Amino acid sequence: MSIYRGAAYVQEHPPGLNKECRSAGTGTVTADSVLLHSVTKQFATAYWHGFFLIQPAPFPETLIGSNAEFYLKSRFFERIPPGSLEEQAFAEYLRCFRDPVTIHASCEDYRAAASVDLDHDAVDLNRKISCPVLALWAEQGAMQPLFNVLDTWSERASAVEGKALPGGHFLAEQSPQALLYHDYRLKVKLVANSWHCKGRSSTDVVRPLARCE
């Protein structure tokens, strides 16, 4: 599941999350309903690809497919500091985006965000997610200067924590250790608060989580 599909599910399905999930996490994005209902010149300029990708097929698919390497480098990779993304990782992105099926799926992801996702979101707009939500976003990304990310997620969830991490659009590649740390920290907190771990010291809780499952 992509970060966009994952974040979309988090915001659209609070009842399902409340029943099935112990925690939820979002990376680099804020709620689609907030993004698309508060468009400014700054946001449209920084996030232009989102409006490009939602155009009817096969328009964006054809343009991207004509030179996938140019698209990836000019849109996503040109602002990444040298050395923060391994050549092997970029080669894998490029391999995938040379496949028309991948390009189409990427476009469909954004099209859903601007259509059916908004419909689903509206149904549960007044219901909050009760499980803990971890929101992590990029210091050099589009969200940081445009939105108070924690405030936007606090409108949709009862318990939200998080922070901006060093990096841009490719946060997993640029700050992998920080992502793992905050994800593990949330899991440890959940385990520490669970009924079968009460009474244990924090040292015990930090041991393999499988012991408390």
Q: Quick check: 23 and 159 in contact, CB under 8 A?
A: no
Domain 3-174 maps to which CATH number in 3.40.640.10, 3.40.50.720, 3.40.30.10, 3.40.50.1820? 3.40.50.1820
What average pLDDT does the segment 41-61 reach? 94
The per-residue pLDDT for 84 is 76
Question: What pLDDT, in 10s, does the model give residues 155-210?
Answer: 889 989 999 999 888 888 888 899 888 888 887 777 666 644 555 554 454 454 44
Compute the distance between CA of residue 209 and CA of residue 1 in angstroms, rounded to an integer.
23
pLDDT band for position 3 (50/70/90)? very low
pTM of the model: 0.76
- Domain residue ranges in the chain: 3-174
SS3 133: strand
